[in-house]
Amino acid sequence: MIIETQDDVTKAVLAEMHRTPNPRTKEILSALVRHLHALVREIRMTEKEFQDAIAFINAIGQKTTPSHNEAMLVAGALGVSNLVCLMNNGENGKRPTQANNLGPFYREGVPRYEDGASLVISPTPGPKLRFKGWVRDLQGRPVSAAEIDVWHSSPVGLYENQDRSQAEMNLRGRFVTLQDGSFSFESVKPAGYPVPIDGPNGALLGAQKRHNFRPAHLHFIVYKPGYKTIASQVYDPEDPHLETDSQFGVTKALIGNFVEDGDGYTLEFTFVIEPGEARRPRPPITAKVAA
């Protein structure tokens, strides 16, 4: 199609979609073109703004490394991560769910532990945390032999992949639920933390005068064949940034109850999983920060 006016551009691009063999790919790309072109028209994007947008997208890739995923941060800061999660869990958004953002710090190859073991590999000062969880199905029945990945930040707000003073895989581990669907571990109480702002994510937050903090939380993945795999986070209700999470991850169903208990805290939580595809997510990072 030969372009005569600006109105012809969208028509021409959509017309070329007819060769796309995969129906879902065609659907996605067609919608992307329609909405992207509509955005450009709505805001009357200038040539300078277009160049700045391209530079922003390029910077996301340039800032991403094996130990840092800038694209995941930006997706979270725009609310896309949690929107996708809530649309695809809880019977496709019909009910509350314990599913939550995967986050940018999930890693594969974590140590496997026996029930009740400690996640602390290297000295990590801070209040102790004793956690006990349960996994149940939609009918409330215990789900045994589910694999649970756990990871969280230290009491100073750093994940081990960000912190060269922490041992490899510190505060990370994998457990298997017992016959009653339970699992437990010991660790230290995580702290809230600022997400990195030395790249495009920082520019995005700065343009909106938003802070870059996440409330304290623990991450989980619940995996069991026959059930939909969920990533989850359990949040500290006392964190000052609970209602203004820079990644929009806090949902009412995921606010935990951290109970002071002598030299630390205890936390109990129940995860409810639904039938579906068991599929481990692709790790956003693959390595620890370079020395």
Q: What is the pLDDT of residues 104-124, one digit of tens each?
A: 999 999 999 999 999 999 999
Q: Is the pLDDT of residue 290 over 80?
A: no
Name the band, by pLDDT with cuts 50, 70 and 90, for residue 29: very high
Residue carrying structure tokens 């010991």 = 186
User: In this structure, are residues 203 and 56 in contact, taking their beta carbons and an 8 Å threshold?
Assistant: yes
pLDDT digits (tens, 9 = 90+) for 204-255: 999 999 999 999 999 999 999 999 999 999 999 999 999 999 999 999 999 9
- Tell me, what's the pLDDT at 289? 84
User: In this structure, are residues 188 and 154 in contact, taking their beta carbons and an 8 Å threshold?
Assistant: yes
- Tell me, what's the pLDDT at 14? 97
Q: What is the mean pLDDT of residues 53-73?
A: 96
Q: For residues 249-280, b (16+ Cβ closer than 10 Å) or e, as one string? A: bbbeebbbebeeeeebbebbbebbbbeeeeee
pTM comes to 0.92
User: In this structure, are residues 110 and 169 in contact, taking their beta carbons and an 8 Å threshold?
Assistant: yes
pLDDT digits (tens, 9 = 90+) for 262-284: 889 999 999 999 999 999 999 99
Q: Is the pLDDT of residue 86 over 90?
A: yes
- Tell me, what's the pLDDT at 214? 98
Rounded to 5°, angle at Cα 113 from 107 and 117: 115
Looking at residue 80, its amino acid is V
**First-to-last CA distance in the chain?**
54
- Tell me, what's the pLDDT at 10? 97
User: In this structure, are residues 278 and 223 in contact, taking their beta carbons and an 8 Å threshold?
Assistant: yes
Q: Is the pLDDT of residue 194 over 80?
A: yes
- Tell me, what's the pLDDT at 291? 64
pLDDT digits (tens, 9 = 90+) for 125-172: 999 999 999 999 999 999 999 999 999 999 999 999 999 999 999 999
- Tell me, what's the pLDDT at 70? 96
Q: Is the pLDDT of residue 187 over 80?
A: yes
Token pair recorded at residue 217 = 């939380």
Q: What is the mean pLDDT of residues 286-290?
A: 85
- Tell me, what's the pLDDT at 262? 85
- Tell me, what's the pLDDT at 4? 95
CA-wise closest residue to 156 among 119, 192, 187: 192
- Tell me, what's the pLDDT at 218? 98
What percent of the chain lies above the pLDDT cut of 90? 97
User: In this structure, are residues 247 and 81 in contact, taking their beta carbons and an 8 Å threshold?
Assistant: yes
Query: What CA–CA distance (Å, rounded) separates 200 from 192?
Result: 21
What percent of the chain lies above the pLDDT cut of 70? 100
